[in-house]
A and B are shown apart, each in its own frame.
Chain A
């Protein structure tokens, strides 16, 4: 086995193993950490394909922003990080059925797609080409996606502040403190 395949299999094992840990871990913070590991592994795959720009974007967006916000939400939501919370899935059968079916569809399409392998060297400066395409040929999808993200952002704010339907400017509700901090707060107040 050459170095390339070896690196691929190590990365693939890392991704799959940590993805399994994400869904099976009893501790939600561990799940988040394993999710970061899996996403970093995907960035490693991009590096192996010489898609450096994509790899950096993957790390920057998924690890740097999304995962951090997720951990933040986990730590700020009271009781969710407790050990007692149940993480078992009651619909294991139907879950297995759906994921098995998805796996079958993916495998079927993988085996039936004729992948064209080109002899051409990998293009340098893919980031520049990507940027040019995003602002010329694909400018409409690009803008639509950004409007969609904006809508999601506004929607999240509206859901979070649904108490203000009377039109009055109600001050935002205080964020519940994690359990370990609530005790400290009670002590300082008494």
Chain B
């Protein structure tokens, strides 16, 4: 990540935040708007961050994965479904069902990734085709089961979608408590501290994603595993000649990538909202890939890029809040369809490489033939 890139990221985020502050200040003080934007940005960037990490693992090992979207979708469905089964059929505790749901999602991601690995590593199918197959299969599978399991003949749920056990709780970081004595009796001080506190009060997957960013960065660049992963993605033959099993390394990394995509899927149906609808991932798997590319295939870079997309989504969400105070000359901001274009246009803009070209791993997408 060069400074030009970070500068660009900072600039876009500032602009997006600035728009909301300018529009929203009629209703709320800027600090409150900024902290609420930040909190939303971090939360909605979660699946993008995890998706981008998924891409980083796969592609650093030399396997292009455009099936992240499908992996996320399938994982979102089965994680949610698993939770419902645990809760409704096995009558488990809601919290236990939710946590098991997360594991089901991760497992689903891994299984879909295994399919991608078999296709691209063992059978050497064109990796973009393989990923597309995963995406189409995901749409077909979740669409069919979503209908069949709930409304099909002999459904245990008897023709309706049952209530899910709910979503993961927010973890409160006690910053306010820490500052209560420092602020003393100043209400303004306390209010500001509470506003800042909101940024840190995130749900477990969102927080975990950030930890995973730094952990992945360390693993990739400072451990034996990372060195070997990057080697099979740059020059598999060189790795082979020093006794590294290229196929095994690639399989393992694609599976890890699948688990990350699975966790991203869990975000949608277990952390964000407790329901599933067909096609709910809405292209975020693909935007993750753009974040990965813009982040130059590094975890920290990809995270920074994911935050830009998160901010553009936060803009859309916050514009709904300030809908009534949008000044008439900015009326287009009322149109959610138009504001909603931001992440897609940003993705295309970033892929032009105007902000600086990035270099993929040299053997990315190339099946290894001895």
Q: Are A and B a genuine interacting pair, yes or no?
A: no
